[in-house]
Amino acid sequence: MTDVPMSLSKTYRRRLPRGFAGRGGLWLGLALLGGFVVLGFAGSFVSLPPPEKIDLLTRLAPPSAVHPLGTDHLGRDVLARLIGAVPVSLGAAIATMAAILAIALPWGLTAALAGGKVDALLMRLADIVMAFPTLVLALAVIGFLGASLEASIIGVAAAWWPSNARLLRALVLSARQRDFVRAAGLAGASPARVIWRHVLPQVLPPLAVIVSLEMASVLLVLSSLSFLGIGAQAPTPEWGAMLNEARPFFARAPHMLLVPGLAVTLAVLAFNLIGEGLRDMLDQREPYKW
Amino acid sequence: MLNLTKLSKSFRGTKVLDNIDFSIGAGEVVGLIGRSGAGKSTLARIVVGLETPETGSIRLDTQEITPGKGDARRRIQYLWQDPIQTLSPYLSAAGAVLETLHGFDIGRPQTRRARAQDLLASLGIVAQIAARKPHELSGGQCQRVALARALAAEPDVLILDEPLSALDVTSQLGVIDLLRRVHAKRSLSMLIVSHDIAPLRLLASRIAVLDGGQIVEDLPLPRFFATARHPLSRAYISTMKVQSDAA
């Protein structure tokens, strides 16, 4: 006999992913990020002075043919420093996010999967860390390790991981409650397979969105720390540090402030647009509408 | 075959099951009927380990079992109320059946894929449909796949929790026919939980009525319709009469 689809199945039916079509924000975010990657590699192909090279005779020069984005207060080429800062600023954000995930992933997964006392213990420890204001804790760690970009990466990661661990735990707990996950367990799937094949595929898409959005926040915090002088140290080119150096010369050489400021803004915008775009796209990929 | 003794369960102080003694014989198809919230599904879920009883024990043959653990996990299979929600959106129909064959180590690894395809085909899911994921299947097809997955475990007891309630009438008839054929072929013991007596009349050899946390009537099918005395049983029988008169 012929099966007639359930009337409800239309509601439940998976909406096919439209992929990237009609997702201008996601495209723009990817284009911006791609632009930064190209910019990061451009230094190898374009003849520019080293970003640390000082030339006091050309200090605070406005944009010109020789220095397309002008020079800073020490006569260093701003374009060379902007390009040199791409791997430093973005690399630091990526390293920080990786460190956060390296702690939060096993922490959240273990808490959600073990349950009971292990869950309670891990979550109370996370709560203790979360009880400190994020920036204060990061500053305390940096103060202990000494001001440097590496210290600010460790400091931000140390203060930032608990919220991600909590979020991950919640995602796993929610994923485990789905009927098809429990049904797979009853139907013979081993606990490891249930986690690998049925729980993690539900957790990874929202995690990708969270990582994209968190990257923007992490980039801003790291730039802020460098702006305050406790992140990247001179003469390392870094957008936050460049903003700090530009502060006293804003009236005389606004390009010193505008260039790194625009870079931070566009990078944050790129990560936010990618995160938002991914969220919209993955919502469409949700297997069923609940 | 399956014996439940002194089973009790409460939710937030409300006793849903109250010292229930209940059994299903080998090859017997028992229909469990009752009002919404009477505890029918709770009883079914306890048998497969999805709920934990406060008191009582469960025996399979003569062995006391922990539901959902050890060999009992394979021997007692469960068919969920809403089939589309209980099949993984990440696996094809064949993948779902294969997972069970792998999980319970049934058959030789090289032959499992063919075995899964054969099982699905015997339930009307041809290879082309078996390659599809749940959202690409109809409700009736999903229920067949779920049934194939349960049967892949080679169970002795099949618990069916409202197996027809999420299906349209045409699909319901198809699944009823399928369950009858499966029972005739495999002589499985079945417990069919339902709030509707019509499908039980077509499937069950015995009907039990659950009300107020207790089994208030438990009779073979012909005697149930002839001699059931409990007001709820009479009400169910009268609904059947109304339906047949209307037809």
Nearest residue in chain B measured CA to CA from A175 = B88
Query: Rounded to whole angstroms, how far apart are CA atoms A42 and A54?
Result: 21
- Position of tokens 């059946």? B97
Query: Which positions in chain B touch A184 (Cβ < 8 Å)?
Result: 88, 99
Assign domain A20-57+65-282 one CATH number from 3.40.640.10, 1.10.3720.10, 3.40.50.970, 3.40.50.720. 1.10.3720.10
For chain A, state the CA radius of gyration: 24
Percentage of the residues of chain A whose pLDDT score is greater than 90: 65
As a 3-state breakdown, chain B gives helix, strand, coil percent values, each rounded to 5, of 45, 25, 30
Q: What is the mean pLDDT of residues A144-165?
A: 95
ipTM summary value? 0.84
For chain B, state the CA radius of gyration: 18
Interchain proximity B87–A182, CB inside 8 Å: no
Give me the residue spans of the domains in chain A: 20-57+65-282
Q: Of B116, B135, B138, which is closest to residue B127 (Cα–Cα)?
A: B116
Q: Of A191, A88, A193, which is closest to residue A148 (Cα–Cα)?
A: A88
pLDDT at position A16: 39
Interchain proximity A186–B50, CB inside 8 Å: yes
Q: How far is CA B91 from the centre of its chain?
A: 23
Whether the predicted pLDDT of A14 surpasses 50: no
Query: Which positions in chain B touch A288 (Cβ < 8 Å)?
Result: 84-85, 89, 135
The pTM for the full model equals 0.77
Query: Which positions in chain A touch B68 (Cβ < 8 Å)?
Result: 186
* Least confident span in A132-141, A162-171, B235-244: B235-244
- The predicted-structure confidence for A189-206, as pLDDT tens digits, reads as follows 888 899 988 998 889 888
Q: Answer for the pair B106, B153: CB distance below 8 angstroms, yes or no.
A: yes
- The predicted-structure confidence for B101-147, as pLDDT tens digits, reads as follows 999 999 888 889 999 999 999 888 998 999 999 989 988 889 889 99
Whether the predicted pLDDT of A182 surpasses 50: yes
* Interface contacts A/B by beta carbons within 8 Å: 107
Q: What is the mean pLDDT of residues B48-66?
A: 90
Query: Rounded to whole angstroms, how far apart are CA atoms A132 and B74?
Result: 49
Q: List C-alpha distances in Å: A241 to A85, A89, A196, A227.
A: 10, 10, 43, 5
Q: List C-alpha distances in Å: B164 to A213, B39, B144.
A: 44, 18, 11
* Helix or strand holding residue B3 (H, E): strand B2-11
The mean pLDDT of chain A is: 87
The mean pLDDT of chain B is: 89
Q: List C-alpha distances in Å: B154 to A240, B124, B163.
A: 65, 18, 19
Whether the predicted pLDDT of A8 surpasses 70: no
Q: Please, where are the H alpha helices in B123-220? A: 127-130, 139-152, 169-186, 197-203
Q: Answer for the pair B84, B134: CB distance below 8 angstroms, yes or no.
A: yes
pLDDT at position A2: 43
Interchain proximity A287–B135, CB inside 8 Å: yes
By the 10 Å C-beta count (0-12 exposed, 13-18 middle, 19+ buried), A145 is classed as: middle
pLDDT at position B240: 75
What pLDDT band is residue A19 in, cutting at 50, 70 and 90?
low
Mutate to test the interface with A, among B76, B79, B86 (most CBs of A within 10 A): B86
Strand duo B55-60 + B63-64: pairing: antiparallel
The tokens describing A138, both together, are 């990061």
Interchain proximity A7–B103, CB inside 8 Å: no
Q: Answer for the pair B144, B97: CB distance below 8 angstroms, yes or no.
A: no
- The predicted-structure confidence for A264-289, as pLDDT tens digits, reads as follows 999 999 999 998 888 887 765 444 43
Whether the predicted pLDDT of A7 surpasses 90: no
Q: What is the mean pLDDT of residues B184-198?
A: 89
